[in-house]
Structure 1
Amino acid sequence: MKQIQIFKTDNPRLFLFYPIFFLLFCALIAGLAWRQIIQKESFESQEVLQSMRRILNPGTRGNIYDRNGKLLVGNRPVFSAVAYLGALKDDLRKEYYTCVKLAKQKHIKIDFNAVRKEARLNVLQRHLDTINSIIGRNEKIKLKDLERHFSQRLLLPFPLIQDLSPEEYARLTEQIPVDAPIQLFTDSARYYPYGPAAAHVLGYVGTTLNIPEDGVPGKELTTFSLRGKVGKAGMEAFFDEKLQGTSGGDVWKVDPVGYQFQHVAHKAASQGAPIITSIDIDLQLTAEKALGDHTGAVVVLDVNTGEVLTMVSHPTYDLNELTPFIPQATYEAINDKGAWLNRATQGLYPPGSPFKLITTIAGMKANLIDEHTITDCKGKHYVGNRAFHCDRRSGHGLLNVEESIAKSCNILFYQTSLDIGNMALAEQAREFGLGEPTGIEIPFESSHTLVPDSDWKQNKQLGKWMPGDTTNMSIGQGYLLSTPLQMACFMASLARGETRTYPTL
């Protein structure tokens, strides 16, 4: 009998796989739909983050004027020759292959990273040599600076020569083609028309990469910043936020390497607000000349308002030597002569004879002396077995209070202070604001001024307060410490018949 084999195509066991295949297909469709529809915005956002970059450009700082509208601090243009690396990428690639080919011909083992660095240096140095030939310099590129720029600031122009002179700038403008990868870049630096005058009041600036965003689009993008300026001392520091101006910026599309190729958005920067100070520059120059080469300070206040008309501190320095940056040699020279210190607000000195007025006021308030009080000055006054001398060793003879002040005789103040005691004397000094900062609009005012008393001496473990301490204090000596600005405020208050003057610029 002939056997016949029959094959069935509808094997029941295959039906078990149909639902599985269907579920897998549905899962695939759902996954594609999730990525294409639901996650579309997320992928688009990632694409933007990877392909776009932002550059922040600081605003120009505001000007500072004296009370009569004369410019004290302005801005001058700073010209630099820079290389836009994106425009050099073809040259960099060709130079790289040339270096590799040359190494192979010499049978040198190739370090591709080193070859890449060499190619970059060769290309940039050739362009710099062209600039050198035009302006007569012999500048060289430091490989370390170049590599740091490629790794951290690729999107920004690489500076070849900074702070070109106006003559060099003019020559380069004539000879560098408009479409060349090497261009002239214009920035600004602070300019001080009066050089060292009021240097400690006006202050100086340093550079920073911490630029405020100020509404520049692309907050979520990788951001590069051109160097801005930040106040480091004086009014430049105290009013830094007002002087800063508003930042501008640009958004660029970049290629996979990071070179910019399409400009997307732009926001212009704007200059900071101007500041009008209370300084009278003509009076300032007069005081600067009067102090000359002496070490010290001069402070002139408007008695009625507390406005600072003049503030001089010597030794000083020329502010123009600190911009656009502070050379190390300049910093060391200023440091060596102690010129960084603003002696008007940071110098600590015994107040001396002007403090006798405080002793006088304390004595009058205690009803121990008045305008008719007579003191017989014999040249010294004994406290225990110790003699405290007058400025005139032979003595002044009989003096009333006004004459004692006018002739700066010490004897009246020795006697008065011992009668009223140290605590009353210290309290009167503090009532005039001594022993605490004035609050003037300059950073780093000293907080170490001192009106001592018996409690202070005990806390410092300097021993018991002695009558001789009170005697010294009565004429502005001993442990007393004040700044010239504090004493100027005291005198202004006294002239008005008040106890406090708050100085202002």
Structure 2
Amino acid sequence: MLGENFGVKKNQTINRRMFIIGAAKFIVFTGIIARLFSLQITDNKRYLTLSDKNRLREWRLPPIRGEFLDYFGNIIAGNLKIYQLHVIPEEVEDFKYLMVRLKEILNLSNGEFEKIIRQKNKQKSWETIIISKNLTWEQFTKVNYFLHDLIGAKPVLSVSRNYPFNESYTHVLGYVSEASEKDILNNEIIKSKHVPGLKVGKTGLEKTFENELIGTNGIQRYEVNAYGKRISQLDHAEGLSGKTIQLTIDTEIQKLCNELLKNIAGSISIMDIYTGEIVAMQSSPSFDPNLFLFGINQDDWQLIINNPLKPLVNKTLSGLYSPGSTFKPIVALSALENGIIDENFKVNCKGKIEMYGQTYHCWKKRGHGVVNLKSAMKQSCDTYFYEIARKLGVDRLKETSLKFGLGEKVLDETFSNEKKGLIPDTQWKKNNLGKGWVIGETLITGIGQGYTQTTPLQLCQMTAQLANGGFKIYPKIIMEENPKTVEDIKLIMDKNAKYLDEKNNGLQEASELLGFLNKKKYGRLFKNSKNIELVQKAMFASTNEVRGTSYSSRIEDPKYQFAGKTGTSQVRRITKAARELDLNTSEIPYNERDHALYIAFGPYKNPRYALSIVVEHGGSGSSTAAPIAKKLFKLIVDRHEFREQTRIEKAIKI
């Protein structure tokens, strides 16, 4: 009985265990089948998408940058095909041997060689190493000649920025270089389009118009393995090039400006007196922006930053100078406009004047004798302008100066490095220096010294507005899509001028009328047009009549004839001992020499262009700056016909 019971219990136990095992197997298989159904049927699309994401990869290509053109459509900043050498380590049989051969073929320095080795050790074996970002044609052909012995090396054709006119446009266009962390963090567009090696604008217009120039990324789609290695290319989509931007500058005139300022620290600005188009804007010394494209080497960088003439400074926009005697036309106009003097007002210049125990010298020791407005401007008599400044006062002088563009940015925010300068008045000194204004400061302000600081471009705008008859203009360096013609601008100016008749007929109060006109486009900056004419004639005499300070730089041919005003800006206080020595410029240490300035407009009979020239530590404006203007005006006038023809062609296309 015991044996039978034991056998029954044993069978029951076995059956129970078999049932449990069978049930477990059923549940497991049911779960597997259910999961497979879910994966293959229910979640099919989801996992297919995830699988493709793992299998397919997109690589963004650097966007193609937009171009800059000059007024005539010539490319002044474009894109150039360049040759590079890439290496994928896993495709190399013997990396050490390959690198030794490339070092010999490309003449790689030890530093470059070690940098490549470090890069190889940091990245994955199938990722590309750029051995050279810009091979010369000779290097490229040499690599191709030995390519059979350079297994794993791949010569590649790429695109990079190119500045064909080298240093002629550096301070206008700026330059591009590889995007820094700061560039990426501060600009969302750069961040969204960033790829390794992306080059962005660092200075000048390249930086200002970065968002328009940058373009869109091209896309390459590849199939990759589980480790992310590319297996095959599936698709390629070209990116869109950035915007093309056209400037108002004439390259031929810009190049001449660069040549005339060779080995000189200074600036030249040239402007259309009606449209405000900047025809040339050169700061010197300059540097070749192409040096920065692939990373400037240490030697070139040291030459630039250690140059005492400061090539990194845009002197046209950032350079602040006392205007010297180039300020005298505005002083004269302000005195005329405020009824302080008329054209017959005379002063007896004896070479100096005494006031409150202080002596104020004229540049001519023995004086100019009795001078009126015209002769004082012609000979740049300081004593005459001391006297009219004293009568005028610095506050009224500032009001006129601001009207003509001094003390304000000329191109608004087009250039981040443009400075405003300073036109002082009594309130300015009290607010900034905590002291009251004194009469002696008014005198030296009257000859463009003291606290007064202007940029060369401001002096050019001031001259342009004197030349066009005293009307406000709107300087620009970027071509507008539908610009006003010169004829349209002159018509607007003539309409504004007609309001003078209403004033003269007593229809409106003068102050109300002038306030209204100043708010109008191309508004009138004067009260009486005769005052503008007097200043223009005085500037003509300064250049074209005997004893004029720039008489030696005159052009007698009416086609090229121009009117101007020289200026000599002191950079140090002249002591009594130094005045008695009367040293030549060459005998004075360079940094203590005066700056040489010149402003001019021409052709005189039918003016169209204005210019300003500043030569740092050039000594005298008459001997250094004015001769440069003589060379420039011949080309400016000769190029005018081409400029007008191009303007007409553009108008027809529109």
Same fold, TM-score > 0.5, yes or no: yes
Determine helix, strand or coil for the equivalent of 1:504.
coil
- Indicate the residue corresponding to 1:347 in structure 2: 319
Which one of the candidate residues 57, 62, 66 is aligned to 1:62?
A: 66
* Alpha-carbon separation, structure 2, partners of 1:467 and 1:198: 44
Correspondence 1:80-159 to 2 at 5 A? 80-85=84-89, 87-88=91-92, 91=93, 123-132=94-103, 142=113, 145-148=116-119, 151=122, 156-159=127-130
CA drift at 1:299 = 0.8
* Alpha-carbon separation, structure 1, partners of 2:440 and 2:38: 90
- Indicate the residue corresponding to 2:131 in structure 1: 160
- Indicate the residue corresponding to 2:76 in structure 1: 72
Determine helix, strand or coil for the equivalent of 2:354.
strand
CA drift at 1:208 = 2.7
CA drift at 1:334 = 0.9
- Indicate the residue corresponding to 2:176 in structure 1: 205
Structure 1 residues 244 and 2, CA gap change in structure 2 (3 angstroms)? closer
Gaps of 5+ in 1: 12-18, 92-122
Determine helix, strand or coil for the equivalent of 1:457.
helix
The answer on 1:274 being equivalent to 2:229 is no
CA drift at 1:479 = 0.7
Q: Deviations over 1:119-159 (max 9, x none)?
A: xxxx4332223445556767787566545466567765212
* Alpha-carbon separation, structure 2, partners of 1:336 and 1:39: 67
CA drift at 1:342 = 0.8
* Alpha-carbon separation, structure 2, partners of 1:248 and 1:374: 73
Determine helix, strand or coil for the equivalent of 1:433.
coil
Determine helix, strand or coil for the equivalent of 1:197.
helix
CA drift at 1:434 = 1.8
- Indicate the residue corresponding to 1:232 in structure 2: 202
User: Identity over aligned residues, as a percent?
Assistant: 27
Structure 1 residues 189 and 448, CA gap change in structure 2 (3 angstroms)? same
Cα contact 2:264–2:284 (8 A) shared by 1: yes
Correspondence 1:69-468 to 2 at 5 A? 69-85=73-89, 87-88=91-92, 91=93, 123-132=94-103, 142=113, 145-148=116-119, 151=122, 156-176=127-147, 180-208=151-179, 225-337=195-307, 338-439=310-411, 443-468=415-440
- Indicate the residue corresponding to 2:529 in structure 1: none
CA drift at 1:448 = 4.8
Range that drifts further, 481-490 or 414-423: 414-423
* Alpha-carbon separation, structure 2, partners of 1:288 and 1:310: 10
* Alpha-carbon separation, structure 2, partners of 1:42 and 1:150: 38
* Alpha-carbon separation, structure 2, partners of 1:86 and 1:252: 18
TM-score, reference length from structure 2: 0.62
Cα contact 1:346–1:444 (8 A) shared by 2: no
Letter of the structure 2 residue corresponding to residue 467 of structure 1: I
Cα contact 2:178–2:293 (8 A) shared by 1: no
Structure 1 residues 148 and 51, CA gap change in structure 2 (3 angstroms)? farther
Which one of the candidate residues 418, 442, 452 is aligned to 1:470?
A: 442
The answer on 1:503 being equivalent to 2:476 is yes
Range that drifts further, 173-182 or 265-274: 173-182
Which one of the candidate residues 53, 57, 68 is aligned to 1:53?
A: 57
Q: Deviations over 1:25-73 (max 9, x none)?
A: 9999888777766666555555455444332212333333322333423
Gaps of 5+ in 2: 16-22, 479-654
Structure 1 residues 2 and 272, CA gap change in structure 2 (3 angstroms)? closer
Determine helix, strand or coil for the equivalent of 1:418.
helix
Structure 1 residues 132 and 294, CA gap change in structure 2 (3 angstroms)? closer
- Indicate the residue corresponding to 1:109 in structure 2: none
CA drift at 1:360 = 1.8
* Alpha-carbon separation, structure 1, partners of 2:158 and 2:171: 25
Range that drifts further, 284-293 or 173-182: 173-182
Range that drifts further, 193-202 or 146-155: 146-155
Cα contact 1:128–1:140 (8 A) shared by 2: no
CA drift at 1:333 = 1.0
CA drift at 1:309 = 1.4
* Alpha-carbon separation, structure 2, partners of 1:321 and 1:4: 104
Structure 1 residues 28 and 384, CA gap change in structure 2 (3 angstroms)? farther
Structure 1 residues 453 and 361, CA gap change in structure 2 (3 angstroms)? same
Range that drifts further, 299-308 or 141-150: 141-150
Cα contact 1:440–1:503 (8 A) shared by 2: no
Cα contact 2:409–2:419 (8 A) shared by 1: yes
Q: Tell me the C-alpha RMSD between the 2 structures.
A: 3.9
Cα contact 2:133–2:294 (8 A) shared by 1: no
* Alpha-carbon separation, structure 2, partners of 1:259 and 1:446: 50
Structure 1 residues 468 and 51, CA gap change in structure 2 (3 angstroms)? farther
Structure 1 residues 224 and 478, CA gap change in structure 2 (3 angstroms)? closer
The answer on 1:486 being equivalent to 2:458 is yes
Structure 1 residues 382 and 191, CA gap change in structure 2 (3 angstroms)? same
Write 1 or 2 for the structure with the bigger share of helix: 2
CA drift at 1:495 = 1.1
CA drift at 1:449 = 1.2
